Each structure stands twice: as structure tokens, then as C-alpha cells.
Structure 1
Amino acid sequence: MTTTILKQSEINDTTQKQVEALFNELNSNIKQLSLSETLKENNTIVLAVCKEGDTLIAMAAMVTYKVISGHKGMIEDVVVSANYRGKGLGRKLMEKLLEEAEKMNLNEIILFSGHHRTAAISLYKSLGFKLKDSGLYRLILD
């Protein structure tokens, strides 16, 4: 198994289909953007993937942005294929994203996780993430 950062030049139809299938394991109700659109040169996303041979088995994304309070990263779309869970792949992906965050000199990394995702929350805490006392509000624009 290999864990790498996916680059735009590595996108093909097979990779696109594998990402779609993997993301559907996380949430099949969300409309997905294509990898080509997601990984455009001017977009600030880092996509860590884990493959077994040519098969994508896990992924995690970190979007970076700059605001007055600093250069930040936000972890999104962490998913490990059901057949590969419990093997430490989530940790490998997160560690890869944290490595990239250090290279980019980010000040803070945030993520949101459903309270029911106890295994994921345990992983995040073991990596040093702490629960932030704040409210999360959202407005869906379609």
C-alpha cells in the first residue's frame, strides 16, 4: 500500500470513478465535483490517497486558505473503504496531510466530525486535535 498526494496530472477516468465510489461510502447524498475541477491549479486543496496497487482504498482532503487570523487548513472528506478499515490507513492519510501542513507553514488545522464517528474522533485526538468550543452554522446554497 502506498500513501501519496494526488496531483492533477495523475487524474484519469479510472481514478475519477474510484474517488466517486469511495466518497459514496462516506456520503452518497452529496453531489460531487469532478477531480479535474477540485484539483485545478489555482485551487488550494491537498488530496492524500492510499492505494493498493492501482486501486484507491482511502482518501482525505485538506483545503488551505489565508485569513486575517492566519494561514489555515481544513480537513474534509476523510474516508477509508469499508474493506480496509481498522488497518491504520486513516492515520497514514492524516499524517500525510499534517506533513504537508508543516511544509506550508499553516498556523492551524480544523476539522469537523459527527459525534457518532467515535473511531475517527479517537484518531483525531491521538494526533493532537482538541474539541473547540464553538458553534457551527451552515447555509446550503444550491
Structure 2
Amino acid sequence: MTIKLLTKSEVTVALQAQLTELYKQLNAELKQLELATVLKNEGQTDIVICMDGEILVGIAMMAKYTVVSGAKGMIEDVVVSSDYRGQGIGRKLMEKLLEQAEKEQLTDVLLFSGHHRTAAISLYQSLGFKLKESGLYVKKCLK
């Protein structure tokens, strides 16, 4: 298995199709953007993938932005195929994103997780993430 940072030039129709199927395991109702769209602005989003030969088995993304309080990363859309769970792939994906955060000298890396995702929460805590007491508000802008 190979864990690596995805580049724009590596995005293929086959990889996009596999991603579409993989994301159904995260949220079947999730509206997806094309990988090419996500990677359009160089350096804005890091995408780490896990490949088993030609098969996409896991993915994690980190959007990066800078505000007055520092350079931040927001981890989103972490998913490992149900056929490959329990093999440490999620940890390796996360570690690769955290390596990128360190390399780019981000001041904070944030993520949100549903309270019901106990395995994911345990992973995040083992990687040093702490629960921040705050309220998350969302307003959908596009329908």
C-alpha cells in the first residue's frame, strides 16, 4: 500500500470514479466536487490518498488558510474503505497531513467529528487532538 500526497497531474477519470464510490461510505448524500476542482488553487488543499495497487482505499484532505490568529489547517473528509479498516490506514493518512502541517508551519490544525464516530475520535485523540469547547454554527450558502 502507498500513502502519498496527491497532485493535480495524478487525477484521472478512474481515480475520480473510485473517490465517488468511496465517499458513499462516509456520507451517501454528500455532494462532491471533482478532485480537479479541489486542487485547482495550488497549495490551498492537501489531499493524501492510500492506494492498494490501482485501488483507492483511503483519502483525507486538509484545507489551509491564514487569518490574523495564524496559519491554520482544517482536516475534512477522512474516509477509509470498509474493506480496509482496522489496518492503520486512517492513522497513516492523518500522520501524512500532520507532517504537511508541520512542514508548512501551520499554527493550528482543526477538525470536526460527529460524536457517534468513536473510532475516529479515539484516533484523533491519540494523535494529540483535544476537544475544544465551542459551538459550531453552519449556514448553507449554496443549495
Q: Identify the TM-score tier after normalising by the shorter chain.
A: over 0.9
Q: Report the residue type matching 2:21 in the other structure.
A: A
How far apart, CA to CA, are the structure 1 residues paired with 2:124 and 2:12?
A: 31
Uncovered stretches (5+) of structure 2, i.e. residues with no partner: none
Q: 1:75-90 maps to which residues of 2 (within 5 A)?
A: 75-90=75-90
Q: Percent identity?
A: 55
Q: 1:60-75 maps to which residues of 2 (within 5 A)?
A: 60-75=60-75
Q: Please state whether the residue corresponding to 1:47 is helix, strand or coil.
A: strand
Q: Output one character per residue of 1:25-65: Cα deviation in whole Å (capped at 9) or x when no partner.
A: 10111110001111113460000000000110000000000
Q: 1:87-106 maps to which residues of 2 (within 5 A)?
A: 87-106=87-106
How far apart, CA to CA, are the structure 2 residues paired with 1:117 and 1:31?
A: 20
Q: CA RMSD in A?
A: 0.8
Q: Report the residue type matching 2:96 in the other structure.
A: K
Partner of 1:22: 22
Q: Please state whether the residue corresponding to 1:129 is helix, strand or coil.
A: coil
Q: Output one character per residue of 1:44-101: Cα deviation in whole Å (capped at 9) or x when no partner.
A: 0000000000110000000000000000000000000000011100000000000000
Q: Please state whether the residue corresponding to 1:132 is helix, strand or coil.
A: coil
Partner of 1:55: 55
Q: Please state whether the residue corresponding to 1:33 is helix, strand or coil.
A: coil
Uncovered stretches (5+) of structure 1, i.e. residues with no partner: none
Q: Report the residue type matching 1:80 in the other structure.
A: V
Q: Output one character per residue of 1:96-125: Cα deviation in whole Å (capped at 9) or x when no partner.
A: 000000110000000000000000000000
How far apart, CA to CA, are the structure 2 residues paired with 1:55 and 1:123?
A: 24
> 4+ residue runs of structure 1 moved beyond 6 angstroms?
none
